[in-house]
Structure 1
Amino acid sequence: MKQTLAVLLLALCVVLVISGCGGKSLPQNSNGDEPNQPSKSTGKVDQQQSTTNLKTISDFFEAWDELFSSTETAINSYDDPFFGLELLVPSTELSIDIQYEILNLQNENGSFKGKLPLSGFPAFIEKDGAKLTFGYEYVREEDGWAPSMKAGDVLVENGSCDLAKEVYRTETVTKRDDKMVDHTYMEFKRIKGGAMLCLRIYGSSKNAATDEERMANTCTFIKAGKGSLDFVLAEAQIGPAFEELSIINKSDLTKEAAIEMLEAAGYVIETTGSVIDGVLVVDP
């Protein structure tokens, strides 16, 4: 699992090195500013600077990855080789968001625009002390590799991160003819004691392989500690217009409480389990 994340991070590092060594620069903003220069700034130190060790999206990912990766041997050793892929998706998506940092290499307060190095989408990131907001909007110019990816689709992502409160959220939507066909909502939170929670919900109205109508949802809940992991995998047939459940305002969430929350929202629990003493145990 960590090798997959390492490849993504290595690709980003290469881009960062090139940009810092006279390589091809990112396109300028519409107002003429370079992507790594602020288009506006408060001009003073923000009063809500983070008092944690989290200063960037990279820091947030590393905090999560340190915990999640501490159980990778147990996950990789499980009988089903594809089982760990479902648990890996939130980590992968969080790691990809690191690319927003190239728009603000100095990690300064202000608003910054440019193209994301991995996707090429026009994007922005805004920093106000410990608070970050970021996102992109892009119209697909041609059909993608999957039948469900159509030219003219509008892809939108909006994310935010409060480094002081140690919470992170992203929402990604694909619209076609002003209707949602794809929707992902994800949250991370570090709780007292250093453990971290993750909740990811995905909904689609299309079969990716055929583009036929099909309402489907998957939901992943993970509570990661050093050498420990609780998880819940659930499914539903709600589609992209699902209720956005949240862990942001919770001081903690056990596996049992997560099951109760998901079932109340109409999800069918598929698999639950834990990593205990270096062994992944699936609940009966």
Structure 2
Amino acid sequence: MSAYGFGGQSVTQKSGVDATLAKKLSRWEHHRSETSDAFESVEKASKQFQECCASKASRIVSAEEKIRSRNIFKREYERFKDALEKLENCLTMGANSARDFADRQKILLGFTEKKRIFVAQMEADDERSSLLSSSSSNNNNGGSNTSKKLSAEEMTEGMTPEQLLRLQMQQIKSQDQTLHALSRLSTKLKATSGTIYNEIEEQMEIADDLEKDFKQTQMKMKALRKKGHELNGYRKNEIAEQDRKIRLEAEKEREKEIRAKEASQKGFWGWFNS
């Protein structure tokens, strides 16, 4: 903050923007330097590979040396391609003006053109190798056997310590990526197996509950049938008892009627005789 209490926030924001811009600019310069170093290495490997493949009467080049030179060229090309991709990703980072952006595009186009030349060189070598293999199949079998016999020491022979270190770093990085992918796959498989196990446990619990419900329902049905039979027997006995009572009452009524009739007849004849 200034002496009068104004402008402090704007100064802080400006310094923050400048720091971010400087960081982006340094990132572009860093990747540009890496791309330049990678280009020098792949260009050197390309020249060595061309010299190795050139037909010269004064020099006899073995198949092992050609293969080793080609492998070095391919490794350096992959390193250059990766560095170029990183440089493309930060093309607009920290560009102060349109002129600065145009200069960056010019640098990037130059590297891209060199990349096309290297790709064309490898494609031409592939075509040449395929023609040689098709024209001499028997010799190609012998050459393939020789290639298979190359050891790791022979493949890395002639490489500088920096190249060996980069190769080891690439191999370690590739192994780390493979292990990371396997770890994620293992985690997913564990999660899937856990889900399947839980689902099976739930299905077994549901089956047990259904079996218990079925047994309870079966027992209730048996009890209801038994009670129904008991009620049915009790009802029959009750109806029979009611019928018996009705018959007894009917017989009593009939006896009363007969007695009354007899009494009335005796009374009539007694009056007539008197």
Specify if TM > 0.5. no
TM range (shorter): under 0.3
Q: TM-score, normalised by structure 2?
A: 0.22
Indicate the structure whose relative CO is greater, using CA pairs within 8 Å and at least 6 residues apart.
Answer: 2
TM-score, normalising length: structure 1: 0.21
Give the strand-richer structure, 1 or 2.
1
| Structure (1 or 2) with the larger CA radius of gyration | 2
